[in-house]
Structure 1
């Protein structure tokens, strides 16, 4: 039977081995360099932007920053109701490189797929409608894709800090900045260790067009189910990442200043709803990766460092248990020794909560004064995570006007018989090409 000290050592090792190894890996990762004579250029890229509003200053800034990189074309997919506004905005911008398409309902997956027939280039880049690109982004994104083994390339991300923010905006903006900083750290570390990462974020990501246009992919992408009951329309970037890994396509994460996009996140009370949406996505996708896709076979470190944390990482619980086990196992020590050990333990626990975010504090030293807020939020996030776990059937956006006009459309209840009928028809088509047809059925029923 484990003694309290052995349990303390086991929990401490589980809790912090990930951090120590990831710190080493993060420092070691280098981006894939741009070749001297690249085969792929910006003219091999079509950028697809799914957007609800279809216009606005933020979207216009996004398009202008993308145009600077000189892609072959930009396809803006909005709603029928906002088509006229989108056309007016593009006309006033005076560019012929933006094609506009529209769908009836706000549904990001179907907006993305709606652009596929018009893509003529080898590479497709998806971009959100609130990002800003650096001028040399495309060469860095295309560098890994020179190797046919790669199917997707992600970018590192920073928050667009508000100008003259209120106290509320400063606090929420700080928490958002740390979220992206932590994500960059995890992606870079896992990429170095085993070529995995949490997810290729849809804010800006490149894929081979032939992967996206494959009928098996399109069917799986537009018919993914959760719990075998509902057609899932959220978590689009998680699905594509899992698809690439399960189909033995390598993925890359270009951690480089010239491959760094700027984005906006909720800097108001909607921040909590945003966190709920992210947490639900993590629950659904990571469970699917571990128990349906057996991702641990291909990416053992990423499974330990990222995917299993959805199930087992509860900061407040583990920190309290660590302290309890330490005090229990050292109760026979002298008061001086026990106190000294406790100071060391608490110092380490505190250091672990900001060491991988050090880059942010170096860039913005004034944010060091907000560190207590991030620690408190880290503990309270367990409540958000619990609520997300109990509401995995919810896929509403929750934080964006117009995105949730018809949630019944976003989560269409479909019967197993209806799904199998559609799948059977697709398989007949695929198998007529002499290919196996098995993956879509497995993923869509995960």
Structure 2
């Protein structure tokens, strides 16, 4: 076999073995079932909702869907400027189970840390201010916590689709929906194989309260550093996910219909700014996981190969042409017909590999099949988003939500010399 053939096989195996194995794992995944005699109920859950605006129809809808699950309490954490607005909104709610807190500046980590010490229940659940829950979601979130080794539990996520969208909105909605679809696919597969989860998404996630109230966690959460030059106050859900792994806790994603929330994503070009923000977070967290903390290599080897390494290597606009070129060169000595068949088979496989994760979406929304080429083209375009994200890892702006970047300076703070020395002492 020629060197071109050997390179083709190695690259093909590296790129697609994870897809084949993940497909089997995803399709055989089963959530942890509900216990016959649960020891935890909704009254063991406090929900923390960080928000900037303090009011709005999306937030009201989120609170209503949370209230129907009958938690012990909801703690709404806004900013001082919107405290009065939030309190007025809460007064219109038919319950006394909502408390309102505030911080001076909009920063999710600071908002979370302000509320965590107020929790008195066994389970603390974080929810974004734009999610809608099914009524039975808490039962499924609590099920893994019946097993003492589980410290964090995530959920299945789907897009709340726009009603009667125009073609532009429909395309952006489709891109958002398939982003969540791919994410559900990947995390259910890796969770099933070795318990690995790249990030327990903060859209809705639960943890044992005593983990979050541990002073060591509080210090680490409020003193995370990037490149030993900056204090990082973004990527909160990535930090907690890594903390679970480094401190011996198992995590679980309850991928099932009963634990399926609905959320919103941008349905306009601002979706690209969301993708850029997510990509920066993935770069920062996965680089830390692999090369600074290092736990994933031994504790979650499959997830390291299937999720963390692709952060560095997945670039469809480079690898697809390279595979086609290597296939062409490896088959140069074959007959024209056989070579054409080999390249055609490779192209067909590439097409299948780019659509197989979306089968569930197309089953639910068969009318979206006509948009499959959009997904493939966007996959190539996303290679440029990833590259730009890597070159701008010190940027933490949202860019996609009004008011979200007013206090962006608090997300990435350059350390002075005294703080640098303190950090070195702590790390040693």
Q: Same fold (TM over 0.5)?
A: yes
Describe how 1:108-123 pairs up with structure 2 within 5 A. Answer: 108-123=108-123
Residue 140 of structure 2 corresponds to which residue in structure 1?
A: 140
Residues of 1 paired with 2:407 and 2:376: CA distance? 37
Task: Deviation per CA, 1:177-205: give whole Å up to 9, x if none.
Answer: 00000000000000111011121000000
SS at match of 1:37: coil
Q: Is this contact kept in 2: 1:186–1:198, CA < 8 A?
A: no
Provide the residue aligned with 1:381 in structure 2: 382
Q: Distance in 1 between matches of 2:34 and 2:297?
A: 31
Q: Separation in 2 of the partners of 1:110 and 1:334?
A: 66
Match of 1:430 in 2: none
1:423 CA displacement: 8.6
Structure 2 CA distance for partners of 1:423 and 1:57, relative to 1, 3 Å: farther
Give the conservation status (yes or no) of the 8 Å contact 1:150–1:252. yes
Name the structure 1 match of 2:301.
300
Per-residue CA distance 1:368-427 (angstroms, 9 max, x = gap): 000111100000101100100000000122211111113323322223532554896xxx
For 1:11-410, what aligned pairs fall within 5 Å after superposition?
11-294=11-294, 295-410=296-411
Structure 1 residues 132-188: Cα deviation after superposition (integer angstroms, max 9, x where no partner):
011000010000011111100000100000001121211111001000000000000
Quick check: 85-94 or 1-10, which moved more? 1-10
Q: Matched residues in 1 for 2:289 and 2:143: separation? A: 27
Provide the C-alpha distance between the structure 1 equivalents of 2:169 and 2:226, rounded to a whole number of angstroms.
35
Q: Number of paired residues? A: 427
TM-score, normalising length: structure 2:
0.98
The question of whether the paired residues in 2 share the 8 Å contact of 1:141 and 1:206 is answered with yes
Cα deviation for residue 233 of structure 1 reads 1.1
Rounded Cα–Cα distance in structure 2 between residues aligned with 1:325 and 1:411:
43
Which stretch of the first structure deviates more once superposed, 180-189 or 405-414? 405-414
**Contact 2:233 2:410 survives alignment (8 Å):** no
Structure 1 residues 195 and 416: alpha-carbon distance in aligned structure 2, compared to 1, 3 A threshold: farther
Give the gaps of 5 or more residues in structure 2.
Answer: none
Query: Residues 61 and 132 of structure 1 are in contact (CA less than 8 Å); yes or no, is this contact kept in structure 2?
Result: yes
Cα distance in 1 for partners of 2:318, 2:379 equals 12
Question: What is the CA RMSD across the aligned residues, in angstroms?
Answer: 1.4
Q: Structure 1 CA distance, aligned partners of 2:146 and 2:5? A: 52
SS in 1 for 2:124: strand
Note if contact 1:228-1:416 (Cα within 8 Å) is conserved in structure 2: no
- Give the match for residue 436 of structure 1: none
Given that 2:137 and 2:258 are in contact with CA atoms closer than 8 Å, whether structure 1 keeps it comes out as: yes
TM superposition shift of 1:356? 1.4
Tell me the TM-score normalized by structure 1. 0.94
Cα separation, partners in 2 of 1:155 and 1:416, compared to 1, 3 Å = farther
- CA distance, structure 1, for counterparts of residue 306 and residue 241 of structure 2: 17
CA distance in 2, matches of 1:423, 1:141: 38
Q: Aligned with 1:412: secondary structure? A: strand
TM-superposed CA distance for 1:117, in Å, is 1.9
Deviates more, 1:122-131 or 1:80-89: 80-89
- Cα distance in 2 for partners of 1:80, 1:212 equals 24
CA contact (8 A) 2:2 2:330 kept: no
For the 8 Å contact 1:233–1:395, the answer to whether it is kept is no
* SS across alignment from 2:74: strand
**Contact conserved, 2:107 with 2:407, CA < 8 A, in 1?**
no
Cα distance between partner residues in 1 of 2:423 and 2:8: 53
